[in-house]
Amino acid sequence: MESTPSRGGLNRVHLQCRNLQEFLGGLSPGVLDRLYGHPATCLAVFRELPSLAKNWVMRMLFLEQPLPQAAVALWVKKEFSKAQEESTGLLSGLRIWHTQLLPGGLQGLILNPIFRQNLRIALLGGGKAWSDDTSQLGPDKHARDVPSLDKYAEERWEVVLHFMVGSPSAAVSQDLAQLLSQAGLMKSAEPGEPPCITSAGFQFLLLDTPAQLWYFMLQYLQTAQSRGMDLVEILSFLFQLSFSTLGKDYSVEGMSDSLLNFLQHLREFGLVFQRKRKSRRYYPTRLAINLSSGVSGAGGTAHQPGFIIVETNYRLYAYTESELQIALIALFSEMLYRFPNMVVAQVTRESVQQAIASGITAQQIIHFLRTRAHPVMLKQTPVLPPTITDQIRLWELERDRLRFTEGVLYNQFLSQVDFELLLAHARELGVLVFENSAKRLMVVTPAGHSDVKRFWKRQKHSS
């Protein structure tokens, strides 16, 4: 009798992107206090607070003594109690303020002294310079202006997106490819095969660029410590970049080896421009400057003019020159013709089911077509022909008729008695997935495999 793992099924992951406050709220108190040791971090966190929470922080910023909770509660009218609860919970969760017992036993509130001190520095000036002066390096002979930085950032980030959709011309570093897999945006069907886009990856491509970057940086930060990097150091540097001046160069002097390595990753993402790896100066791009200020909208989709027309005969006409958009369309359709400013494709059963096999859902395909519909199609109701949307869903249901369950196969029993004995035990434990008495084979769940195997060994020893 032998047991072997059976093939697993397809897991569809829904993309969930936390905003800045949710991310910081998940950090340990020690990490948060270290983060608040940097004025740039305090200013970035303050900037993202709701207006009511900002008001409270500003009213308490220069108070050295705690205020009674009852007095703070009087600052808000009763009809805004919900906003008051949300802001109170947020400030406590981010350790911006905490409770402190007042003389007489009353509960008071006071700002975190580390946060208070460094927010004062950020707002009023003073303290250590956030970055080293580049005057010692002299004028940059290869200075970059704002348009060239914007073009560079767009091109670098598009390389990442092209790699995700499988463009043969797009190549990324091994670190970046590994990060895309760890984030669940890409996966390899078999070991050694090139990775392909997943359902979450397709959702990722539907986001606008600031949201894509924020989600991507979240995944990077979550794995930073496992790569031996200091989370506080790199997160503080990101916040520092968000307050940089577009078109101005900054020095790398004083950076640790870990931070220099992080700078090279940012260079690959398009967040900074550095002419050479060993260059002593870098230019933050618009993507880096807008990173922390654009996180609150990280759930939106890209807003761009529509360019797709879908006909009831499953023909698709895309009036675009974007290689990325064409590659996205090719994920769920068959390309027929290509012209300088237009492509013609056919939505077929095979192309849709191939996309579904990669983890893309029918709803995602329909959403993609609807959000990129040509203005001509937007004039009709519904925007997409019902025959197209219904058929795409039916093709998905057709594939989903088969459901896969992971399990361990037991076969090659020497006798029917042995098979029946083990079958009864697996059924009694509730771990039986499949049985075939004629062929003497059975499949049990991976969780129940050890119990079944242990039972079988005991039976063989006792017989």
The C-alpha angle 386, 389, 393, rounded to 5 degrees, equals 135
Are 90 and 49 in contact by the 8 Å Cβ rule? The answer is yes
Q: pLDDT value at position 266?
A: 95
Are 20 and 431 in contact by the 8 Å Cβ rule? The answer is no
Q: pLDDT value at position 180?
A: 92
Q: Average pLDDT, stretch 431-451?
A: 93
Q: Average pLDDT, stretch 448-463?
A: 86
Q: pLDDT value at position 420?
A: 93
DSSP 8-state class, residue 301: B
Residue ranges of the alpha helices (H) in 207-245? 209-222, 231-242
Are 290 and 282 in contact by the 8 Å Cβ rule? The answer is no
Q: Say yes or no: do domains 36-124 and 406-462 share a fold.
A: no
Q: pLDDT value at position 295?
A: 46
Q: pLDDT value at position 197?
A: 87
Are 127 and 121 in contact by the 8 Å Cβ rule? The answer is yes
Q: pLDDT value at position 293?
A: 58
Q: Two tokens at 253?
A: 């002097």
The C-alpha angle 145, 151, 152, rounded to 5 degrees, equals 85
Domain boundary assignment for the chain: 36-124, 135-297, 308-399, 406-462
Q: pLDDT value at position 188?
A: 83
Q: Two tokens at 86?
A: 């949300």
Q: What is the pLDDT of residues 328-359, one digit of tens each?
A: 999 999 999 999 999 999 999 999 999 888 77
Q: Two tokens at 281?
A: 């100066």
Q: Among 150-164, 177-191, 276-290, which stretch is predicted with the lowest mean pLDDT?
A: 177-191
Beta bridge partners of 410: 3, 442
Q: pLDDT value at position 304?
A: 64
Q: pLDDT value at position 49?
A: 93
Q: Is pLDDT of 7 > 70?
A: no
Q: Is pLDDT of 265 > 90?
A: yes
Are 4 and 410 in contact by the 8 Å Cβ rule? The answer is no
Q: What is the pLDDT of residues 166-187, one digit of tens each?
A: 887 788 988 899 899 988 899 8
Residues near 8 by Cβ (< 8 Å), separated by ≥ 6?
A: 404, 405, 406
Give pTM, 2 decimals. Answer: 0.70
Banded model confidence at residue 18, pLDDT cuts 50, 70, 90:
confident
Distance between CA atoms of residues 24 and 29, nearest Å: 10
Q: Is pLDDT of 4 > 60?
A: no
With left for phi above 0 and alpha for psi between -120 and 50, is residue 133 left, alpha or beta?
Answer: beta
**Higher pLDDT among residues 194 and 164, named by residue:** 164
Q: Is pLDDT of 463 > 80?
A: no
Distance between CA atoms of residues 35 and 310, nearest Å: 51
Distance between CA atoms of residues 180 and 187, nearest Å: 8
**Higher pLDDT among residues 105 and 311, named by residue:** 311
Q: pLDDT value at position 8?
A: 39
Q: pLDDT value at position 287?
A: 92
Q: What is the pLDDT of residues 280-302, one digit of tens each?
A: 899 999 999 988 654 444 344 44
Q: pLDDT value at position 128?
A: 74
Q: pLDDT value at position 47?
A: 92
Distance between CA atoms of residues 272 and 285, nearest Å: 5
Q: pLDDT value at position 63?
A: 92
What is the average pLDDT score of the chain?
Answer: 87
DSSP strands (E only) in 253-341: 272-273, 281-284, 308-310, 315-318, 334-339
Query: In one letter, which amino acid is 114?
Result: I
Query: In one letter, which amino acid is 429?
Result: L
Half-sphere exposure of 329 (CA within 13 A, CB side): 32
Q: Is pLDDT of 243 > 70?
A: yes
Are 123 and 40 in contact by the 8 Å Cβ rule? The answer is no
What percent of the chain has a predicted confidence (pLDDT) above 70? 92
Q: Which helix (H) or strand (E) holds 447?
A: helix 446-462
Beta-sheet strand order (sheet of 272-273)? 250-251, 281-284, 272-273
Distance between CA atoms of residues 302 and 343, nearest Å: 21
Residue with tokens 């002299």: 138
Q: Among 13-27, 53-67, 93-107, 230-244, which stretch is predicted with the lowest mean pLDDT?
A: 13-27
- The CATH code that applies to domain 406-462 is 3.30.70.2610
**Higher pLDDT among residues 286 and 142, named by residue:** 286
Q: Which fold has domain 36-124?
A: Arc Repressor Mutant, subunit A (1.10.10)
Q: Is pLDDT of 3 > 60?
A: no
Q: Is pLDDT of 248 > 60?
A: yes
Give yes or no for a cis peptide into 382 (omega within 30° of 0): yes
Banded model confidence at residue 199, pLDDT cuts 50, 70, 90:
confident
Helix (H, G, I), strand (E, B) or coil at 275: coil
Are 384 and 366 in contact by the 8 Å Cβ rule? The answer is yes
The closest alpha carbon to 268, from 198, 213, 195, belongs to 213
Residues near 18 by Cβ (< 8 Å), separated by ≥ 6?
A: 26, 218
Q: Is pLDDT of 362 > 80?
A: yes
